[in-house]
Amino acid sequence: MRKLRLIGIGTGNPEHLTLQAVGALESVEVVFILDKGEAKAELLRLRREICERFITRPFRFVVAQDPERDRNPGDYAAAVEAWHTARAVLYETLILRELAAGACGAILVWGDPALYDSTLRIIDRIVARGHLPLDYDVIPGISSVQALAASHRIALNRIGGPIHITTGRAIADGLKPDAESTVVMLDGDPRFEHLDPDLTIYWGAYLGTANEIILAGRLGAVAGEIRRLRAEARAHHGWIMDTYLLRAPDRR
């Protein structure tokens, strides 16, 4: 039986790793990494840096090219399904070839494995296929949601209030009518014109790292600046990871 550990590594700052994550890395003999291309080479470098800092025993990197994904599909659900299937087949092949029976491998997951990440679903597919006996566990990590709140020094919710966590795609037609505090992730091209300009936005990119950028204010006043900063940062780094909290005016 092979062992696989899915380790949440936070948002790019090696100090985001929990003591549990550091301990889990010490048991690892092989680290599997999917290369997302030159534009996101920094993400690969950060994973290597984390491993070299915290793994003191001999280990190997196994790097493979991430399967291509249709970013503008006619059928979004079908495109994601195809991408997940391709990733499952790739990981299964790598684990069978590179991880000996009885050995322990790891996949380092940006943020937390339970929040808007596909790795858990992909490993479930591998197990369901039945070709690869596999034992795995999950090590939680600091998510961009937590990092955003920490950088802005805010509580995510109002007293006793709910938090809605969703994606940029899901708010294309606006927020829920009763939304109080909405965290938006995976928004590749944030456009705010259709939203209430009196919302307060807390935005952050490269959270927790030396490249962190944060901005907060009335949405109608800072939306343009956020889009400008975002475009400049993407052009400079070749990639961007950002998230934001939208908070409705307190009308009590």
Q: What is the pLDDT of residue 78?
A: 83
Question: Residue 19: enclosing H or E segment and its boundaries?
Answer: helix 19-25
pLDDT in tens, 189-224: 999 999 999 999 999 999 999 999 999 999 999 999
What's the rounded Cα separation, in Å, for the pair 193 and 212?
25
CATH superfamily of 2-139: Tetrapyrrole methylase, N-terminal domain (3.40.1010.10)
- Residue ranges in the chain whose pLDDT is less than 50: none
Cα angle: 204, vertex 246, 178; to 5 degrees? 160
pLDDT in tens, 160-171: 999 999 999 999
The CATH architecture that domain 144-247 belongs to is 2-Layer Sandwich (3.30)
Task: Find out whether 119 and 6 touch, Cβ atoms under 8 Å.
Answer: yes
Task: Find out whether 240 and 205 touch, Cβ atoms under 8 Å.
Answer: yes
**Six token digits for residue 169:** 């795609």
Cα angle: 146, vertex 187, 142; to 5 degrees? 20
Domain with CATH 3.40.1010.10 in the chain: 2-139
**Six token digits for residue 119:** 């790795």
pTM of the model: 0.91
